[in-house]
Amino acid sequence: MSSPTNRRADLSDKLRSLPSVDRVLSEPALSGALDRWRRSQVVAAVRAELDTARAALGNGGETTFTAPIVAELADRALGQRLRPSLRPVINATGVVIHTNLGRAPVSEAAARAMSEAASGYSNLEFNLGQGNRGSRANHLEPLLQAVTGAEAGVAVNNNAAALYISMAAHCAADAQRTEVIVSRGQAVEIGGGFRIPDVLRDAGAKLVEVGTTNRTRAADYAAAVTERTAAILRVHSSNFRIVGFTEEPSARELRAVADEAGIMLIDDVGSGCLLDTRDFGLAYEPRPQDSIEAGADLVLFSGDKLLGGPQAGLIVGRRDSVDQLRSHPLMRVLRPDKAAVAGLAATLSHYLAGDAVETVPVWRMIAADPEELRQRAEAWRSEVGAGQVQPAHSAIGGGSLPAETRPTFVWSLEHPHPTDAARQLRDRVTPIVARVEHGRLILDPRTVLPGEDDEVIAALKELVGGAA
């Protein structure tokens, strides 16, 4: 066993053996970096790697840090700075609308429209016919009218914004009428820690809760109306479900209460579902057009969930109610940009053309035939030469259709360290996000987009080969 004096001397020798900054900068590995970056930035990267080397040696590390090795490490670190943190990933989790993975992928037509709008000039707020200023709302309102049957429609940057501006414009503008009646079971948290009561309060409205968590009747709303009541707000429980001994009034029943009291009915239906989910073996999800038919003054919904478009909050309803939002100062704060407008227009056009199931990725995934998914999973297994194909269920996710799933088939691998295997897939240039269940690594083809199978197969081959 060496003495402390010998260990210090050994460490001193190792530290003296580290190359100088100038020596590292002369290495060919850094020639490209010196062309791309300022010299001071390259020097800082080299010094950072040398500091890391000194720390490693001080902790007993035996790695040899030669000039070529330090140069390669510094070049790699500089390259990481150019690598965007927001990157495309392959979603193999089976969760169709995955909030952490960007929710809904848009259609090819929507992506193309967004790219074209963002990469050049457009007539976003220009009337081509008259040659003067136009309105960005004109690109979406006719489409929103057509798909929902509403008199008018406008877009903001997400559905929380849609609720906020609706409260500010209609339930806080008149200081004498600020009360908003909400069922106790609908005063929900909408994600990210944000809660309906907080949104209403910050927008200037006063929440009045009625009923109980599981049962609220139309009579409860009627009994809560006062001269200070501005509106009834119905909020769809998009991300949870209460079952059993429950009751809640329909939009038509609430419309009758609102008419009797002379107040507004605002319906937040959440996920922006324009198709009948029952056609796909799923529970009914409220549709904006159903609320419009029932007589809601305003209907609020998301653009990036079951609608399948870019992030947005869409508001449709009576002309006078929507126009009041359009003229509110918050509209400029919350309005969507040109790329979102273009993507929304292209997405809504799919519904008008009747081809949303074939063209909108969310609906294409939901409608996917389990037998076709089994064949894809079998193809993965055959190419990889390992794993099993097992029946499973895909979740809809994204605050839509809580607890609803679709049957699927997954590629499954029993692995001694499945969490490490999942991390290895995420560490790829194109990360693949899988799930781990009961000691197995699982990939669901339902959410792997067309054209991504080859990348998945290549990654699984590397994974299985490394494990072997």
Using pLDDT thresholds of 50, 70 and 90, give the confidence band for residue 468. Answer: very low
Looking at residue 65, its pLDDT comes to 82
Looking at residue 11, its pLDDT comes to 60
Looking at residue 12, its pLDDT comes to 74
Using pLDDT thresholds of 50, 70 and 90, give the confidence band for residue 413. Answer: very high
pTM given for the model: 0.84
Looking at residue 5, its pLDDT comes to 63
Angle at 179 between CA 266 and CA 184, to 5 degrees: 70
The two three-digit tokens of residue 197, written as one number = 């009561």
Beta bridge partners of 126: 133
Give the separation between CA 407 and CA 395, rounded to whole angstroms. Answer: 9
DSSP 344: H
- 91 contacts 448 by C-beta, under 8 angstroms: yes
Give the separation between CA 446 and CA 367, rounded to whole angstroms. Answer: 10
Looking at residue 8, its pLDDT comes to 62
Mean pLDDT across the chain: 91
Rounded to an integer, the average pLDDT of 293-311 is 96
Task: Break the chain into its structural domains and give their ranges.
Answer: 4-82, 90-97+363-467, 108-359
Give the separation between CA 50 and CA 67, rounded to whole angstroms. Answer: 10
Most confident of 181-190, 278-287, 350-359: 350-359
Q: How do residues 35-77 score in pLDDT, each as one tens digit?
A: 888 999 999 999 999 998 888 877 776 667 889 999 999 998 8
| Burial tier of 3 (Cβ tally within 10 Å: 0-12, 13-18, 19+) | exposed
Q: How do residues 4-39 score in pLDDT, each as one tens digit?
A: 665 566 667 777 888 999 999 999 999 988 888 899
- 154 contacts 137 by C-beta, under 8 angstroms: yes
Beta bridge partners of 432: 90
User: Which fold would CATH assign to domain 108-359?
Assistant: Aspartate Aminotransferase; domain 2 (3.40.640)
CATH of segment(s) 90-97+363-467: 3.90.1150.180
DSSP assignment of 346-369 equals HHHHHHHHT-HHHHSHHHHHHH--
Looking at residue 61, its pLDDT comes to 66
Token pair 């409860």 is found at: 220
Q: How do residues 250-267 score in pLDDT, each as one tens digit?
A: 999 999 999 999 999 999
Q: How do residues 213-233 score in pLDDT, each as one tens digit?
A: 788 999 999 999 999 999 999
Q: What is the dihedral of CA 368, 370, 376, 382, to 10 degrees?
A: 180
The two three-digit tokens of residue 370, written as one number = 């389990």
Using pLDDT thresholds of 50, 70 and 90, give the confidence band for residue 193. Answer: low
